[in-house]
Structures are given as structure tokens and as C-alpha cells.
Amino acid sequence: MSRRTVHLVSTERHVEHALAQGKVARTWRSFVAEWATNAGLDAADPEMTRLATAAALAGIEHDVNTGGSSAIVATLDAAMGVLCESGVDAATLRRTGRPRAELFARLLEGTSERLIAAGAFDRRSAGFFAAQALERAPLDLLPGAVEIEGLVDFTAAAHAWVQALARRIRVTVRMPRWAGASSSVARATDALLSLLEERWEHDSRGPDLELDDIQFPAKLELLETPSDGAEARGIAGAVRDALRGGIAPADIAIVLPSLDEEFLEPLRATLDEASIPFSEPRGRPPIATPLVRAALAWLEITSGPLVRDALVDLLRTSVVDPAPFIDGATARERRERALTLCRRLSRMPVSVDRDGTLLADLLAAETNDSEPWLSSSLAKILAARRDLQGDAPRRVLAARLVEVWHAMGLGPVPIGAVADLVALEEAPVAEPGDPRATEDGVRTRRLVRAQIREQGAGQAALLAAVERVQMAADALGLGDEPVSIERLRSEIEAALAGVAPVAMHRPAAVRIVRVADVAFLPLAFLVIARASEGAFESAPTVHPVLGDELLKALPQRHRPPTASLALAAQRTTLLSAIAFAERVLVTRSVTDVEGRPAAPAALFSELSSERAIAVGPSSVLDPRAAPLSARAAELVALGQGGTTSDTDLARRVAIEQARLEFFLDPRLAAGAVTGAISTADPAMAAHLARAIGGTADRPMAATALERAAGCRFAAFALGVLGAQTTDATGEELEPWQRGSLVHRALLVAMEATRAHAHRDKTDVVALGTAAARRAMLHDRNSPLYRAEVERALRDVEAVLLWSFDDASGFRFAYGERSFGETKTIERRSGDAARTSRNAWPALRIGDGHDAVYVKGRIDRVDITRDGTRARVIDYKTGALPAWKDVGTLVFQPPLYALALWLEMGPLSLPEIRALYLDTSKRPPRVFPADKSQVFSAESMTSAQQRAKAIVLRMRAGDIAPRPADALVCGRCSVRDVCRRPAAMPIEDPELDVDGGAP
């Protein structure tokens, strides 16, 4: 090594600055790392230290009984890092005599032995290994002198190598000293200087301390904004103004206290909008890429109880090909099937299932074997999940995991991304008179290329994390150790967090930096962002697992820095960055990311005592806000009532105005942008009719008719678009799901007791309940499912008692009788053998081209012994509808009664009635009263006409979101895709019961 003076600085940027001044420079981190390995050992990766800690903990588990979970291992490993940085060994710990000292002493000995056997040392002890090497090294291998700048976090490890070097050669440590007015923030430098002076004043061969006076620059401004988004826009505006003022982009830096994505994303977006080139010390973390999120989601699904929503989110992810689980000739067909499975699973009211059997039970119960591929797909998912749940060596589990990832299409490039890029590159160039199309095309190409880069980097980081875990285990001799998928998951996620993202560097760009990256460097303009409590300064604390009692018992020189000293080091670095800038802007938001009030940081408060605070606008439409782009300027002008030359923007504004007028005035007819589909094209009209249903080959369910009567858009979104959102977070069945169980159990019970009405009531009830229990619990092994079936059987018992005591003369005739179904639903269930019967034909309403066909499933049909009277019973386990709405908004009773009447023959069945039976009451409640149950031919005809009018209106293209009752909007399952604001008024349903204009 040259005998010249070497300058040791904190970052590569500082190295470049020193080299430009003709100095010999390198980072002190690389200097320490190089000398630390001179002992013949390599610095262990974090994965190795965590595995070594886990192995050492396992060796003493019988004494400490910690459980050995991954969280405990990570916590103890972090505590071991604190001890390593402080130079604490096992003997030092034992001399303290404290209770937990023996635990950490044995852990230190165990990890050290394993790492040394693997030819490695804990990298957090690098300062001490470097100190030993520097003390033994020949003098001609050392530089002539060393100057250290930027080292303010003086741990025991830092003191060790600095003092060891100072005993061999001349070492100068440059530190800042505040020369301005005294303040709590500025006094941070004094605290560090006092520590160093106290440590080195009695050491005749200690380092020299050289002080540089610093103070606030003359141009220091404060900006306060209402939100994080407004703060990002304020920063982008200030940077843009600085660039327009002639400042070079490389002389501008934006300091963030922590590089969290919550603020980085809006900041990136605003800088992009303002066309400001920028770079950052790291790109988006690997976990931010959809590919990595999907891979980790599968790992989460396999390593614990099955979370329904996690599985649904995975299957919905665009980068996932569900080929391992769902059959289909093409990726598109498999995705469509996956979305269908997601919709079915989302309806399951179970959020967490230990082994997946409950979800499988409920899915099988709902589908009734009509779509066997649904249960088969879920079974494949559960089988693949079980394949990873047996303990095995890491390399075996990792190979299985990676194999599934690749089968799911989670390769280095997103599915179809390259094809999309090729299509974009081959697309025809926009017309010369359409410059915006050219700009959009360029932007689209750039976004697709960025997606490919990010996905490739994410996949590489993921595989690197898996490989690092395996290599660490092999190096420590743990390669053949069987581990659980839960443990492997925690190790992969920890390794992935340690994989450095690919930094985004651009020449001549504004830099987003950490404060240490610009401390002591001259800058023309420095922005200090997020100066609010909770975001600006972290609260450094000593590791709580070690405990204050143990730390205070350590020798003074082996104690970790106190929280106050750690905070002083942070503030010293910040003040050094501010002092070297010509102009500084400090910004903050008055609210945090969740909208709660946030107090200013100490620095902001102290600066505001002598300086005015500029208040930033809350909205991009605020006339005080300087627009960041031409697009934003047009939006501001439109917000003030102006016009725009952008035809696309003008079109969007017109659409929003039309929607606003439509929802404010119930008299307006629906248009193309408010809920009307043009049916002028016969092909479109035919396609819409098939999609909506009600045709001979695709009858519409009576329940769908009721939904359309309440809101045509809800029926269209659910039935045609397949849109549905549910928020079932509990594990108890929802009313509709429990109702399905009750219906199926009642069918079995009533069929089993049909021929035993002459027997004793107790015997009949016991017979029916036992038959239902055998049928419902056949091959079921989910405890929660069993509990719900037992709950449903109590309803069965109550209904059987009610049926036995019914003195009206009606007797059970049919159960779950379907009409308009494509195939029978009756089949062999448990030990109750029943003859399969074809469904009744669909109910046809009207004649000719406008005929509407309806299908349904009647819960129960009762007929008197003489066959002259019949009644339709609809079981209910939840709230009962208002009987006044029957025939106008509620259609199951009259249409079910009509289907039965037509099937049995109007002449042979002079009386037909319908009722609801609330099975949750004891005894079951009949609704309505006896006289109101009878349907006349006129009432059934009226219901038909009303139902037909609703379907024809939808076929005509009117699917506007105008509910008959505004109260349904609050609980609507498609509210997220509806353009009608929930606060909008609604017309009087008495005037127009279907929600349309009169």
C-alpha cells in the first residue's frame, strides 16, 4: 500500500469528491472489511449468522425453553449483533453475574464456534478483527497517514479499529462543530465531541481531532403541506423551479429520513409528472414487484393455516398462470376459470381454514357437483400445499418450491410482457397531427420495458435469497437438517430483505438520498423532507432483549451507544448536510400517511421560531399551486370553468358532467355513459339478451329477477360482468350459506320421513334428523363444518315438528323441486336413496320474440290429500322480505306458485298459495297470515308482467344504477364498480317501483 495520506470517507460519492480534489480516498467500510479478512476468515452473511444462532439456541433449548421460533431466533440474532459491535465476549458477560448473561454467553460461544468451523466470523465484529490485523501488520503495508471524515457513529467496534490504526500511524478524525446559535438540535455535535475527547484525551497515541465549524446557510426555507401527496408535489415544484433557475440537477439532492415506499411512490410520480430526471440509492425493493409478491404469497399459503383471501389474491394476480391447479387449453381459459373459482371462494364465509377441508366442504356443498372442476382445482391446490408441509432438507423444499413457482409462470419475465413490447414496437407510428399519441406510445414502451426489468430483477433477487439460505446451511454443516416450510419461509423472507435492490442511477439527475450520502458535500440546493415526528428521526433504543440491567453491568467501553448518543449521531450527520448546502428547503406534512395529525420534528420547530412557514396547497386544482405539467395546468383551468384543447380530456370531462347530471336528476333517461347499452346493432342486441338471460336456452333465475327489480345495474354486474366483492372476515357461516345447509338437510329429512307419517311424532323426528345427519356428515372431517351441520339440524328438528303438527291438511310432496334447470339436482345422498327425476320446464312469460324464460328451485311443495290445494314454501333463515313487495320487487313466491300451478294443471288445482317459513324461530314462524297466502290468477299474471318488463328493459340496454331503494347501496356487493355515489338522491319507489324514470 502507498505511504501517502489516505482519506477514509463514508460513501462512494465522497470518494469521487475527494478524488476530484487530488486526494487518495476510499470508504472506511471497505477499508475495515479488507483488514478484517486478513486473519484468514471471511465475513459471514446475515443468513449464516442467523442459522448459527438458531443452531446454538437449539443446543441449549433444554435449558432455556424458548420454543426456537424464527421470530425468537431473529430477535436473539439482532441482540447478538449489538454485543458483537460492542466487543463483548462470553467471559465479559459471565463476569457481570446477571441472570441472562449466561444465556448470551453460551449463545456467543455456540455461534462463534460454528462460524469459525465454517471459516467465517460475524461481520458485525469486523472492527475488532480489523483492529487485530492492523496491530500485527508490517508498517510498510500501512498508509503514511489517514484522515477520517464522515464517521460519527462511534460504536466500540469503530473505536477499536480507529485507535489500533492510530497506534501505528498518524490518524486525524475530522468532526463538525456547531458555530451558530445554541439549540437542542445543534448541541448534538457537542455531545459527540465530548465523548471522543473523553475517550482519547488520556491516550498519548490516540487519534488527532480536527474540528470544522458549521452553521445554517443564509437561504433556509420551510414548507408545510396538508398531506404526504401535497408534500411530494411541493418538493417537485421546488426542484423544478431550482432547475429553471439554472441549478444543475447533480447539485440538487432530496434527503429522506427513511426510504419507505409509502412516500417514495408519490414522490416518484410527481417528479415524473414534472419531467425531472432523478436517481435514488436503491430501486423499488424486490417485494414491490408482482412476481415476488405472488411467489411469497404461495409460500405464505403453504406455511400456515390457509387464508382464503390470500389464495384468492394469488389466483387473481395477473402474473400467475394457474396451470398447476386449473385445467385449460390456454392461459386465458385457465385465468377465466381461476376468476370463477375466486368468486366462489370469496362467497365462502370462512376467512381462515387450518387445512383447507372446510373450504372444500363448503365449495362442494354450494356447487352440488354441477361444476366438478371447481372442487378438483381446489383439491390440486391443497395437494400442492401438503407436498410442501413435510419436514425436509432445505435444498429439497427449495427445489419443490421453485418448481411450483416456475409452473405458475413466475419466471424472470412476466407472462406476455415481451410479446406486448414487440407488439408496441411494431405498432404503426401515430399520424403527424397527433403528437399526444406519439408521446403516449413512447411512455407505454418505457413502462413495459421497466416492468420487464423490475420483474427480472425481482425474480433474480428471489432466487438469490433461496440460494443464500441453502449456501449458509451447507457452510455450517446443516445442509441435511430437516426443516419445516414455516422455517424456510422465514429464512427466505429474511434473506430477501437483505438482498440489495438494483439502484437506479442516471447521469445529470436530481438525487434522492439518505442524509449520510450528502453530509460534508457541497450542494446548491438541498431538500430535507418529512420533518414530522414519527417519520423524521427514528427513536434509537438499546436492544430490549439484553435489558438495561445487563448492559449497565458491562464495562464502560463495551456498552452499546445510548439512545441519546445514537440520536446525536443522526443529528450531527443531518447538520453536516445542511451546513454544506447553499440553499435548504425543509418540508413536512401536518398529517401522517393515515391522515392523523402529525407534530413537527424538533428541527422544524426550532427553525420555525425564527423563520416564516410557507403553506402548500392541498389539491392540484388549487389556483395557488403551480402545475407540474401541461396536463395539470389544463386540469386547473377546467376546475375554474375553462376549456381544454385536449380532445381526450374534454371527452372525459363531458362524461363526468353527464354522469353528475344523470344522478342528480332522476327524470333523465340513461345514456351511453350513464347506464345504457346501445342495441341498434342486431348482433349486439342478441349478445346482450344471451348475456342477461331469460332466453329459452338460458333461463333467468327468479332470484336474479329480484335483484334486477331492486337495481338493474347490480343484476348486470353480478350476472353478466361477474363482479362481486365480499368482506366476510369471520369463520361463522353467513345466513345464505347456513340456509343452504338447512335446505339440503331438510330435503333429506323430509324424503326419509315421507312414508312414516303414521308413526309416533318423536320417532318420525328422530328418523328424519338421523338421516340428515348421516347424509350431511358423510366423509366430512372439518370440525367447524360439523358444528354448523349440527346447528342446521336443530332447524331440521323444528321444521319436522311443525310439519307433523300442521293441521291445515297439507302434506309434503316435493323438496328442492327445480324448474328450468338443465339437469336434475336430486341424487343419492348418504343412505337416503331417491329416484332421479327430470326438472320441470322453464316458466315461460309471454309469447314470441319477447318471451322471458325463468328458472328456479322451490324449497318445498305441499299438497292436500284430495289434490285440490297446493302451497309453495320458501325456507328462510334470515330476514323476511315485506309481503307488500311480492309481485313487484319480490318474485319467488308468485313465480314458484305459477310454475307449480302450470305443472299440476290449473283445472285440477283450483287453489294455490305460497308462504315463507322462518326456520330460525322456535317453533318456525309462518309468514304471511293464512288469508294472504292464496294467489289469484290475476296476481300471478301481474307478477309475470312486472317480471317481463324488468327483463325487457335490461335487454333494451337500460342497466342504469338507479336502485328502487337507496338503502341497498350501503350493502351492495358490487358497490366498488358502481359509478353512482352512495350519497346521491333516489326517486320515490312508490312512483316508479323499478327505479326508472316515469
Q: Which helix (H) or strand (E) holds 575?
A: helix 563-579
pLDDT digits (tens, 9 = 90+) for 200-215: 877 778 899 999 998 8
Angstrom distance (rounded) from CA 200 to CA 443: 58
The pLDDT of residue 622: 77
- Cα separations (Å) of 220 from 357, 583, 721, 946? 64, 6, 56, 73
The pLDDT of residue 830: 41
pLDDT at residue 283 is higher than 80: no
Tell me the average pLDDT across 663-677. 89
Angstrom distance (rounded) from CA 122 to CA 107: 13
The pLDDT of residue 34: 94
The pLDDT of residue 149: 93
- Distance between alpha carbon 236 and the CA centroid of its chain, in Å? 28
Q: Where are the alpha helices (DSSP H) in 665-814?
A: 682-692, 702-710, 712-716, 735-753, 761-776, 783-805
For the chain, what is the mean pLDDT? 84
pLDDT at residue 373 is higher than 70: yes
Tell me the average pLDDT across 220-229. 94
The pLDDT of residue 162: 94
Angstrom distance (rounded) from CA 782 to CA 776: 12
**Banded pLDDT at 966 (limits 50, 70, 90):** confident
**Banded pLDDT at 319 (limits 50, 70, 90):** confident
Angstrom distance (rounded) from CA 89 to CA 920: 69
Angstrom distance (rounded) from CA 664 to CA 668: 9
Tell me the average pLDDT across 181-185. 69
Nearest alpha carbon to residue 799 among 933, 926, 931: 926
In the block, residue with C-alpha cell 466470523: 121
**Banded pLDDT at 432 (limits 50, 70, 90):** very low
Residue 201 has a CB neighbour count (10 Å cut-off) of: 10
pLDDT digits (tens, 9 = 90+) for 55-74: 998 888 666 666 667 788 88
pLDDT digits (tens, 9 = 90+) for 106-136: 999 999 999 999 999 999 999 999 999 999 9
- Distance between alpha carbon 473 and the CA centroid of its chain, in Å? 31
pLDDT at residue 437 is higher than 50: no
The pLDDT of residue 941: 92
In the block, residue with C-alpha cell 339437469: 823
How does DSSP classify residue 532? Answer: B
Task: Read off the C-alpha cell for 282.
Answer: 436503491
Angstrom distance (rounded) from CA 852 to CA 843: 8
Angstrom distance (rounded) from CA 345 to CA 301: 15
- Sequence-distant (≥ 6) Cβ neighbours of residue 330 within 8 angstroms: none
Share of the chain above pLDDT 90, in %: 47
The pLDDT of residue 838: 62
- Cα separations (Å) of 593 from 40, 369, 534, 588, 598? 49, 47, 11, 12, 10
- Strand-strand pairing, 613-615 and 219-225: parallel
Tell me the average pLDDT across 955-982. 82
**Banded pLDDT at 196 (limits 50, 70, 90):** confident
Angstrom distance (rounded) from CA 903 to CA 894: 14
The pLDDT of residue 996: 37
Long-range Cβ contact pairs of 970-975 (< 8 A, separation 24 or more): 972/711, 972/714, 973/714, 973/718, 973/724, 973/725, 973/726, 974/713, 974/714, 974/717, 974/718, 974/723, 974/724, 974/725, 975/725
**Banded pLDDT at 780 (limits 50, 70, 90):** low
- Sequence-distant (≥ 6) Cβ neighbours of residue 913 within 8 angstroms: 869, 870, 871, 872, 897, 933, 934, 935
The pLDDT of residue 739: 77
How many alpha carbons lie under 13 Å from residue 778 in its C-beta half-sphere?
15
pLDDT at residue 799 is higher than 60: yes
How does DSSP classify residue 137? Answer: S
The pLDDT of residue 286: 74
pLDDT at residue 339 is higher than 70: yes
Tell me the average pLDDT across 466-481. 92
Burial of 615 (0-12, 13-18, 19+ CB in 10 A): middle
